[in-house]
Amino acid sequence: MTECKFEDLIDEYLLNTLSEEKRNQFEEHYFNCPACFQKMAERDDMITAIKWKGHEIFSDLMKEEQTRKVAVWDRLFGFMAPRQWALTAVSAALVLVVTFGVIPALKTQSPQFTLDDHQTRGQSITLISDSIPSRFEWQKMENAWEYKIEIDNHDPLWHKTTNNNFVILPDEIKHKMKTGVAYSWQVKAFSRQGILIAESSKIQFFIPEK
Amino acid sequence: MGELVNDAQSFYNVRTVERPNIEHDLDAIIAKYRPIVSFRVKKSLGSYTPDWEDVVNEIMLNAIEKLESGKFRGESSVGTFIYTITSRRIIDHIRKKSKSLKYAPEPNPFPQPQEHVENKERAEMIARHLEKLKPKYKEILYLYYYKELSRDEVAKKLDISPRRVSERVNYAQKLLKKMMKK
Ligand SMILES: [Zn+2]
């Protein structure tokens, strides 16, 4: 079977990374090339399964990654004892300064950290958030159809998909959160087709002790 | 929507009886292009758009009418002709929809395999097979499709050439196909 030169575009087309011109060319092509259409349909089946069931298919890989991330975190912040963390989190205002001020600075200083598993995909979303932790807000994106916000400590704690650019944290989740524990939140934007188009950085926050 | 299909078919039946050997065998055209048009429409509108099937039917009917009435003179291939109709219809649809977008229902959070049970079962089965792949293949599928790193980023991370990334992904797909046949 001879390979069609358009075959190379299948992945990029399905992942929405082609320029508009190339996308149009490829679309016209697969209306005319049964071989490419067939291959693309098979690939699409596989990608759909991966997107839908990825957390199950790759659970072992994800766990491994999480462990690595924790190790990096420990290397960076291990010098601070838990009690110092508690002291740092005296008030919500202070926490805001710490999280929004210190973390991005550290990121730029430490290439290992940025090169770890959280490179930003697509464009970057700017997180706004006025108060932590009941309302989380981020900047709207023109081509986003919906957003998914995820909150986790080392394990996923809560996520929600919404068309708005903010969410209100439900009380039952708030009650589950402990003071002095590092949580992070992150927002992903999806296109109409459900393809990930942008991702914010992960921002750490703490629940202040009363 | 059922009506449209019936119309198209009766239209076609009458014509083929009259001209059994016309160049554009409409039955074959419907069979060949309906899946392609469906794919294109679903990709643009999202399969959770409830009326995507209606859009597909309208496109097919429109194409058949044009082929029938002689408006298509073979200045392009039939494929390109239907592609053009499809693209226009999709742009129209999005334009109309975006006006009433505010009131649109919440879509599904993820590219859910379409509502139909058999599609969900299929995705489920594919997932079970993918779980069984060797780490080497799983890792590449994870980085490339799940995390959507670019091909170059994946290559760098795994210390292989970008070309090799594609080859490995293709091979994983081949393995999957084999497992599905069993
Ligand atoms: Zn081709």
Are the C-beta atoms of B114 and B91 separated by less than 8 Å? Answer: no
Whether B16 is covered by a domain: the verdict is yes
In chain A, what residues touch B35 (CB-CB under 8 Å)? 37, 41
Q: Are residues B90 and B15 in the same domain?
A: yes
Instruction: Check B145 against A45: CB less than 8 A apart.
Output: no
Average pLDDT (B142-163) is 92
Residue numbers of A between 152 and 181 with CB closer than 8 Å to B: 161, 163
- Position B37 scores a pLDDT of 96
Residues of B in contact with A61 (CB under 8 A): 138-139, 142
Domain range for residue B177? 117-181
Both B18 and B64 in one domain: the answer is yes
Domain presence at residue B106: no
Cβ pair B146:A121 closer than 8 A? no
The region of weakest confidence among A39-53, B22-36, B79-93 is B22-36
Q: Would you say residue B84 has pLDDT above 90?
A: yes
User: Do B25 and B72 fall within a single domain?
Assistant: yes
Same domain for B127 and B94: no
Q: What pLDDT was estimated at residue B34?
A: 95
Lowest-pLDDT range of A91-95, B161-165, B167-171? A91-95
* A86: pLDDT strictly greater than 80: no
Residue A144 in tokens = 């986003």
Interface probe, candidates A26, A31, A51, A65, chain B, greatest B C-beta count within 10 A? A31
Measured between CB atoms, does A142 come within 8 Å of chain B?
Answer: no
Is residue B89 domain-resident? yes
A–B CB contacts, 8 A cutoff, strictly below? 130
Beta strand A123-124 with A196-199 is parallel
Taking CA atoms, B138 is separated from A11, B93, B135, B169, in Å, by 17, 38, 5, 9
Q: How far is the CA of A105 from the centre of ligand 1 (A)?
A: 48
User: Domain end: B52, B68, B100, which one?
Assistant: B100
CA distance readout (Å), B66 to A57, B60, B70, B82, B83: 47, 10, 6, 10, 13
Which among B80, B130, B169 has the least Cβ separation from residue A32?
B80
CATH number at residue B20: 1.10.1740.10
Q: Which residue of B has its CA nearest to A43?
A: B173
Q: Which residues contact A115 (CB under 8 A, 6 or more apart)?
A: none
Domain C-terminal end among B72, B100, B128: B100
Q: B175 in a domain, yes or no?
A: yes
Question: How high is the pLDDT of residue B107?
Answer: 40
Instruction: Answer yes or no: do B70 and B123 share one domain.
Output: no
The rounded distance, in Å, linking the Cα atoms of A4 and A19 is 20
Closest CA in chain B for residue A116? B157
Residues B176 and B126 in one domain: yes
pLDDT of residue A181: 77
**Same domain for B70 and B126?**
no
Contact A149, A185 (CB under 8 A): yes
Report the alpha-carbon distance of residue B154 to residue A170 in Å, rounded.
38
Residue A210 pLDDT level (bands cut at 50, 70, 90):
low
**A7 and A39 Cβ atoms separated by less than 8 Å:** yes
Same domain membership, residue B157 and residue B88: no
Assign 3-state DSSP to chain B and report helix, strand, coil percentages, each to 5.
75, 0, 25
Mean pLDDT is lowest, of A54-58, A205-209, B21-25, B82-86, for B21-25
Three-state SS for A204? strand
Q: Compute the nearest-CA separation of B54 from chain A (Å).
A: 18
How close is the Cα of B140 to the center of ligand 1, in Å?
Answer: 24
pLDDT at B159: 95
Burial class (CB in 10 A: 0-12, 13-18, 19+), A166: middle
Verify whether the Cβ–Cβ distance A57 to B130 is below 8 Å.
yes
Mean per-residue pLDDT of chain B:
79
Which one of B75, B100, B125 terminates a domain?
Answer: B100
Distance, CA of B119 to CA of B114 (rounded, Å):
6
Instruction: Based on the fold, state whether residues B149 and B61 are members of the same structural domain.
Output: no
In the prediction, which pLDDT does B4 show? Answer: 46
User: Nearest chain A Cα to B153, which residue?
Assistant: A119
pLDDT digits (tens, 9 = 90+) for A97-138: 333 333 333 332 222 222 223 334 444 565 655 445 677 888
**pLDDT digits 0-9 by tens, A170-188:** 878 877 787 777 788 888 8
Give the minimum alpha-carbon distance from A86 to chain B in angstroms, rounded to a whole number: 34
The nearest alpha carbon in chain A to B103 belongs to A163
- pLDDT exceeds cutoff 80 at B99: no
Confidence of residue A72 (pLDDT cuts 50, 70, 90): low
The answer to whether residue B87 is domain-embedded is yes
Domain shared by B80 and B123, yes or no: no
The nearest alpha carbon in chain A to B104 belongs to A163
Instruction: Judge if B26 and B79 occupy the same domain.
Output: yes
Sequence-distant (6+) residues with CB within 8 A of B126 are A45, A46, A49, B176, B180
Are A162 and A190 spatial neighbours (Cβ–Cβ below 8 Å)?
no
**Number of domains chain B contains:** 2
Of A24, A52, A146, the CB nearest to B107: A146
| Residues in B touching A25 (Cβ below 8 Å) | none
Task: Give CA–CA dist B130/B141, Å, rounded.
Answer: 9
Partners of A146 in beta bridges: A190
Do the chains contact at B177 and A42, CB–CB below 8 Å?
yes
Asked, for residue B164, whether it belongs to a domain, the answer is: yes
As a whole number of angstroms, the distance between CA A19 and CA A16 comes to 8
Percent of chain B predicted with pLDDT > 90:
48
Poorest-pLDDT segment among A13-22, A198-207, B75-84, B152-161: A198-207
d(CA B41, CA B87): 9
Strand, helix or coil at A15?
coil
Q: Which residues of B34-45 are buried (b: 16+ CB within 10 A; e: fewer)?
A: bebbbbbbbbbb
List, as one string, the DSSP characters of A114-168: HHSS-PPPBEEPPB--SSTTTEEEB---TT-SEEEEEEESSSEEEEEEESSSEEE
Q: In this structure, is residue B112 part of a structural domain?
A: no
pLDDT of residue A42: 94
Residue B111 lies in a domain: no
Q: Within this chain, do residues B74 and B130 fall inside the same structural domain, yes or no?
A: no
CATH code for the domain of B132 = 1.10.10.10
Measured in whole angstroms, the distance separating CA A195 from the mean position of its chain's CA atoms is 12
ipTM confidence: 0.80
Q: Does the predicted model carry a pTM greater than 0.80?
A: no
